[in-house]
Amino acid sequence: MILTSKPLAVFLFVFLFGGIAISSAMGWWATESTKEPATFTEGEFAGLANPADIRGSYTFGDIANSFDVTPEILAQAFGIATDTPAAFAVKELEALYLDSGFEIGTNSVRMFVAFYTGLPFDLTAEETVLPQAATDILLAEGNLTPEQVTYLETHTVTVNETAVDAEPVVVETPVSEESEYVVKGKTTFGDLMTWGVPKETVETLIGTSMPDPAMKVKDYASANGLDFETLKTALQAEVDKVKP
């Protein structure tokens, strides 16, 4: 049987769009790729999204859909100044930090999300660094394990406030000498947590919730009517417990 042009056109229309309709109904047709990371398959985290599977094509909004972290927190952690943080793509980080002298990209986001949410992350697979702002957020949460705190001591880098203006700097590595773990006028709350002083202990001593990790203890004392010398002595006693 030979089809004329008109019946042939009708046949092609039904075949094409009818096939799409059936595929869509069966869940076989998708106009855009789904951005959901693979899940852990065993252990206590089985069924939860795995941060190690976050891709460069994901946006901060995609990540927020699978993990308990907001696009705003991610933007703050990585110095992204934008009114629409949910639309920012992870793959753009490497270009923004290209001139910083450090490799801050997809794996940095994976590690931050894992640390922030308390999910497992393999620290031996790849050397990964975080900007200081990201580490400050993690320390303020107070949920890091001792191993994670130790890792961040040597894998945190300081760049300018925004990634676009990032400049090369020298990584500050911790000094093991006991004399370096001394509460001074320049000591910040972030320093205390990096040294291993529990967040809860600091909050008990100051009588309120943890302030900005970047704030100096001395400045906080002055702003809140506290005697710095008294507070310093109490904090030093706690530092000595974790850094004997």
Count CA atoms closer than 13 A to 36's CA, side-chain side: 9
* Mean pLDDT score, 8-30: 49
Residues 154 and 59 grouped into a single domain: yes
Given pLDDT bands bounded at 50, 70 and 90, which one contains residue 110? very high
44 within a domain of the structure (yes/no) = no
Residues 61 and 130 grouped into a single domain: yes
75 token code pair: 């933007």
Residues 212 and 125 grouped into a single domain: no
Percent pLDDT > 90 in the chain is 43
74 within a domain of the structure (yes/no) = yes
Q: CB of 111 within 8 A of CB of 155?
A: no
Residues 185 and 153 grouped into a single domain: no
Residue 214 vs residue 198, higher pLDDT: 198
Given pLDDT bands bounded at 50, 70 and 90, which one contains residue 6? low
Residues 57 and 100 grouped into a single domain: yes
39 token code pair: 């899940």
Residues 58 and 127 grouped into a single domain: yes
10 within a domain of the structure (yes/no) = no
- Nearest Cα neighbor of 36 from 2, 5, 64 is 64
Residues 141 and 232 grouped into a single domain: no
Tens digit of each residue's pLDDT (9 = 90 or more) over 65-88: 999 999 999 999 999 988 999 999
Among 43-47, 140-144, 157-161, name the most confident range. 43-47
H/E run at residue 5: helix 5-25
186 within a domain of the structure (yes/no) = yes
Domain coverage including residue 120: 51-165
Q: CB of 40 within 8 A of CB of 47?
A: yes
The mean predicted confidence, pLDDT, of the chain is: 80
Q: Does residue 32 surpass a pLDDT of 90? A: no
Q: CB of 10 within 8 A of CB of 3?
A: no
Residues 158 and 210 grouped into a single domain: no
Residues 70 and 140 grouped into a single domain: yes
d(CA 112, CA 78): 10
Cα dihedral 73→74→80→81 (10° resolution) = -30
Residues 84 and 132 grouped into a single domain: yes
- The total domain count for the chain is 2
Residues 198 and 145 grouped into a single domain: no
Tens digit of each residue's pLDDT (9 = 90 or more) over 139-148: 988 789 999 9
d(CA 216, CA 72): 25
* Mean pLDDT score, 175-192: 73
Residue 181 vs residue 244, higher pLDDT: 181
pLDDT at 120: 94
Residues 138 and 224 grouped into a single domain: no
Domain end point (choices 165, 186, 214): 165
45 within a domain of the structure (yes/no) = no
